[in-house]
Amino acid sequence: MSINYYGVLNLSDALIPLLRPNARVVNVASKLGLLTRLPGQEHREKILNAKTIQDVSQVVEDYIK
């Protein structure tokens, strides 16, 4: 999680303010990041229902615990 989630999040937070207006950010990930690989429907539903980055981060923290 420290690389696959927080690494992307921290890099995005650092770079987005430096981008020109209307710039695009493309993140490439492997199949290991598919929601179907998460154990339990509960975690998948929480991520799918998340509305903000804070919501997703809370799901990640809960999953780590």
What is this structure's pTM? 0.66
The domain of 27 spans: 6-64
23 belongs to a structural domain: yes
25 belongs to a structural domain: yes
Q: Can you give the pLDDT at residue 13? A: 92
DSSP secondary structure of 15-53 = HGGGSPTT--------GGG-GGGSSSHHHHHHHHH--SH
Looking from the CA of 52 toward its CB, the CA atoms found within 13 Å total: 3
1 belongs to a structural domain: no
26 belongs to a structural domain: yes
Give the count of domains, the chain: 1
Spell out the per-residue pLDDT of the chain, length 65, in tens. 788 889 989 999 999 999 999 998 888 877 777 777 777 788 788 888 999 999 989 988 888 88
Q: Can you give the pLDDT at residue 4? A: 81
